[in-house]
Amino acid sequence: MKIVKRVLLIIITVILVLILIFNLNNFIQIKIMKKDLATLGGYAVLEVVTGSMEPTIKVGDLIVINTKEKQYKKNDIITFYDVNNSFVTHRLKEIKDDVMITKGDNNNTEDEALPVKNIVGKYIFKISGLGIILSSLKNPFVSIMILVIGILICFLISTDKFGNPILDEDEKEFQDYLKEKESKIKEDEKPNKLKDVWNKLKSKFKKEKPKKKKQNKKKKKKKSKSKNKKKGR
């Protein structure tokens, strides 16, 4: 059971870290750096919203493209800017000098000829149906809710019913060892504290004793003086 919990904890933690990295990367590159597309190590992810490339790529799929690719040939699937400056992923049908012609696998006609410089990247692979999750993660509220729920699940998995962290046998032994060491140190400190208190009391007692003697001597002298006065009379 402990192994299952640990595996679940690792999986959830990895997912949460990836979501956090994805959102931070998108925010920095798109909102701050004002880029059209957020990349990480030269790779970018896009959600497919039309069926122009079916059955190869379907609506709702998530595709990964390599934006650093420089070599393109016929039948490559590429992502490019169309005439409306929108991202389109189609198959490259022809490339001559600085002009290219593309076509969607599910379309009957070819696209309008465009300059090669409009190419954004080359299609690498897809993850079926994950595009919907990608679009939902772009919503800040959804991302925050996922992170909060994930952290709560991690906390519940990693603690017992009393809220204490679940430890392995080695970790428990180490904790017990530390507790024993602390208790021994406290026990050793107790007699030392008693000695200190006793020494302080002794020193106070010694200081106070001679004062009393002096006071007694003064009283005796006064008494003797008074006696002598009486005799004189």
- Structural domain of residue 95, as residue ranges? 2-158
Which tens digits make up the pLDDT trace of 56-68?
999 999 999 999 9
In a domain, 164, yes or no: no
More confident residue, 77 or 201: 77
Say what the pLDDT of residue 230 is.
45
Please tell me the distance from the alpha carbon of residue 70 to that of residue 42, in angstroms, as a whole number. Answer: 12
CATH number, domain with residue 75:
2.10.109.10
- Clarify whether residues 49 and 135 are in a common domain: yes
Confidence of residue 184 (pLDDT cuts 50, 70, 90): low
Please say which residue of 158, 188, 217 terminates a domain.
Answer: 158
pLDDT surpassing 90 at residue 183:
no
What is the distance between the alpha carbons of residues 133 and 146, in angstroms, rounded to a whole number? 11
List of residues 6+ apart from 79 with CB closer than 8 A = 46, 63, 65, 87, 88, 89, 119, 120, 121, 122, 123
- Region 76-104: mean pLDDT is 94
Q: What is the mean pLDDT of residues 44-60?
A: 93
Residues 194 and 103 in one domain: no
Residues 95 and 198 grouped into a single domain: no
75, 88 contact by CB (below 8 A): no
**What's the chain's average pLDDT?**
78
If asked whether residues 104 and 205 sit together in one domain, one would say no
52 belongs to a structural domain: yes
State residue 82's pLDDT score. 93
Q: Which of 164-168, 192-196, 227-231 has the lowest mean pLDDT?
A: 227-231
Q: Which residue has the higher pLDDT, 19 or 93?
A: 93
Tokens 């600085």 correspond to 98
Average pLDDT over residues 38-50: 92
Are 102 and 23 found together in one domain?
yes
**Any domain includes 206:** yes
Q: Determine the pLDDT at residue 210.
A: 53
Out of 125, 158, 191, pick the residue that ends a domain: 158
The answer to whether residues 122 and 225 belong to one domain is: no
pLDDT at 6: 74
pLDDT digits (tens, 9 = 90+) for 116-137: 999 999 999 999 888 877 777 7
Same domain, 145 and 176: no
User: CA 134, 140, 144: angle at the middle one, nearest 5?
Assistant: 100
Q: What is the pLDDT of residue 137?
A: 75
- Same domain? For 82 and 119 the reply is yes
Q: How many domains does the chain have?
A: 2
Query: What pLDDT sits at residue 231?
Result: 46
Tokens 């409306």 correspond to 84
Do 92 and 180 share a domain, yes or no? no
Within-domain flag for 135: yes
For the segment 216-223, the average pLDDT, to the nearest whole number, is 51
Q: Are residues 100 and 185 in the same domain?
A: no
State pTM to two decimals: 0.62
